[in-house]
Amino acid sequence: MKIITLADADELILSPMLETKQLEFDNLPFPNMRASNSVMVFSEDFVEAMTDWWKKWQFVVGFNYKAGSAMCESGVKILVGKIHQAVFPWRGEGKVDDEVIARAREDGHNPPTEKFGDFNPGVYDLRCLLYRGVSLNGVTDGGHSTVIIYVHDKDGLCYVLCWEWQNGRWVRFDEALKSGVLVRDTID
């Protein structure tokens, strides 16, 4: 995990929106009140572990997404909430509680032992609009809600992923926009 500035985080969403000509009107997709000027970007390993948990959780509780079911909204809230819970112990200053570190190591992770300071977790509920003929997650027109998450690779390069409900996988945010998805709002 690493921390980037709010401006750098915003650019990762705004650049593909500019590229797809989605900023011709006043629709900046960010809340005006943010808790921090820093955003946590998640490692690919963290996203992989969280994805494994997410798929298992869906199977265990019988959460079977169907296009047009409105399950996207409730599912997004669950996944975003779980990620917030997972990183909460790393907010603030000083050392992370020993119990948190021990639990993470039992799960096979090598977590940081020092807190990252003040940050917003880089995971959001993306509200979007799909025009007739555009398909995202099996939804072919109308409103939709999905998760976007900030990720960095082993070299530190940052990018944004978008959860694809229908296929149960992540796709690049910029590619989703190029396919015709129109961003309406992000909710943290």
Handedness of CA 105, 110, 116, 122 (dihedral sign): negative
**Residue of 28, 27, 24 lying closest to 11 (CA atoms):** 28
| DSSP strand pairing (38-43 vs 120-121) | parallel
Question: Residue 179: what residue type?
Answer: S
For the chain, 188 residues long, give each residue's pLDDT as a single digit of tens.
899 998 898 889 888 888 888 765 555 656 554 667 899 999 999 999 999 999 999 999 998 877 777 788 888 899 999 999 999 999 999 999 999 999 989 988 888 899 999 998 999 888 776 665 655 555 555 567 889 999 999 999 999 999 887 778 899 999 988 887 777 777 77
Sort 124 into a burial class: Cβ within 10 Å, 0-12 / 13-18 / 19+.
buried
pLDDT at 24: 55
**Predicted local confidence at residue 116, as pLDDT:** 93
Domain coordinates of the chain in residue numbers?
2-187
Predicted TM-score (pTM) of this structure:
0.86
Torsion of CA 153, 159, 160, 164, to 10 degrees: -60
Cα 41 to Cα 27: distance, rounded to the nearest angstrom: 24
